[in-house]
Amino acid sequence: MAQENKVTALIMAGKRSGALDPLAARAGVSQKSVVPVLGIPMIERVAAAVAACERVGTIRIVAHDSGEIAILPTISRLIDEGRLTFADGAFNIVDSVFSGAEGAEFPLLITTADNCLVTPEGYTEFIDKCIAAGAGGAAGLARKEDVIAADPVGQKRFYEFADGGYSNCNMYWIANRKALGAAEIMRGGGQFMKFPMRIVKAFGLMNLIRFRLGNGSKDKLFEKVSRRFGFSLVPIELSNGEFAIDVDEERSFGVTEKLLRQREAA
């Protein structure tokens, strides 16, 4: 890709509420994104992986406290190179996405500061598949079998479709400003498994029934959602089940460190 055709990456590193995250409290830091994972702050790991992806141009970190992040070596270097800037975080994911997207060049890759296991190659795979699919918006998914093969307890939440179970990889694609409206489906954290009325609001009652009963494939469901939104919303299946394991709490923190040790040993 020529520089002017590269993707803008948004790394979501804000706080979900005003409360201190338990992992941050244990690590003695003010926000989860700077909690060390195998000795390296998670936001630094993610920023390094995003920066090493050959499809990514500029990077924006959406955060509440940029000062604690900006002094990290990798972040500081990317700032000095003119590649990385900050945007103000809000206390919900949708407003944070809109903040990060303000004035940005499309398309956008959205990832999260706790995606410590996603590699540069993983981001490249996602972006290439989004472009090949002509996606207006997209979400990265990993097959249940691949996630369990990566680690049997690393991720416990799966979306069950007629064509199998899948887990969210916290990777999203927004091709243009029209597609930016799809960010509304993530309001409140996008935790559709816990709060099915969010599916009703975003997708419609019949799609909720199909989703809950699993009597439709993921592609068919996304096709119906696409018609509702008026642009192509695509599920992107990724090849590595580790990409669905992020650092949410002590269990997934331990799993992530274990998998990173295995990579280093290899």
Residues 6+ apart with CB under 8 A from 2: none
Whole-number pLDDT of residue 156:
85
What is the distance between the terminal CA atoms of the chain, rounded to a whole angstrom?
31
DSSP structure class, residue 104: P
Task: Pick out the chain residues at pLDDT < 50.
Answer: 1-2, 188-189, 193
Strands 108-112 and 7-12 come out as: parallel
- Residue pair 32/15 in contact (Cβ under 8 Å)? The answer is yes
pLDDT in tens, 212-231: 555 678 888 788 778 877 78
Cα four-point dihedral sign 119, 222, 181, 135: positive
Whole-number pLDDT of residue 95:
85
- pTM listed for this prediction: 0.88
DSSP structure class, residue 174: E
The helix/strand/coil state of 31 is: coil
In terms of C-beta density within 10 A (0-12 exposed, 13-18 middle, 19 or more buried), how is residue 224 classed? middle
C-alpha span between 29 and 35 (Å, rounded): 7
Whole-number pLDDT of residue 127:
98
